[in-house]
Amino acid sequence: MESLFYFLTSLTLLCALMVVISKNPVHSVLFLIITFFTISGHYVLLNAQFLAVVNIIVYAGAIMVLFLFVLMFLSLGKSGDSGIKTSLISKVAGTVAGGMLFVVLIAALKDASLVGYNPETYNSQAGMVENLGIVLFTEYLLPFELTSVLFLVAMIGAVMIGKKESGEQHF
């Protein structure tokens, strides 16, 4: 089990790095799909099967189809960003921002401690759908309902924006 964790972790980090350094945008999207699948593997190892399935359906499915659609719509293809020239100041700003993010991550993780497996307090059913539903509809009922209202308003707004009638003005 531990070797599977290390294999998934190394594959996740390698594919995430390839997303960033790949020149071809289609290859970057494919590496991102592999990254999402390996993260779902981590969810399965944590006994959170519902999160693993939702991660595959939402991210590796719907979001990646959207990314590929945008890439095909823009027809970047194999040429990638060869025509884009970046200035020295943007490279320096990116390096400084990345360095600051690294410092913040190190500062946040310096006091973190690893917690080992404790058989007395371990709950093997923690990530199951039934327990997730109980928590959602008891402790987090108000945020859950507010999110559903927000999604409903967003859907109505998308329909209203996309609706075209003769004589109607769009703002």
Is 37 inside any structural domain? yes
Per the structure, the count of domains in the chain is 2
Q: Is residue 112 part of a domain?
A: no
Mean pLDDT over each residue of the chain, to the nearest integer: 84
Q: Is residue 74 part of a domain?
A: yes
Quick one: how many helices (H) and strands (E) in the chain?
Answer: 7, 0
- pLDDT tens-digit profile of 126-159? 767 888 888 889 999 999 999 999 989 988 887 8
Q: Fill in the DSSP letter of residue 122.
A: -
Query: What integer pLDDT is reported at residue 90 of this predicted model?
Result: 87
Q: Is residue 170 in a domain?
A: no
- pLDDT tens per residue, range 42-51: 999 988 888 8
Whether 67 is covered by a domain: the verdict is yes
pLDDT the model gives residue 75: 67
| Structural domain that includes position 44 | 1-78
Evaluate if residue 92 carries a pLDDT over 80.
yes
Q: Map residue 144 onto helix, strand or coil.
A: helix
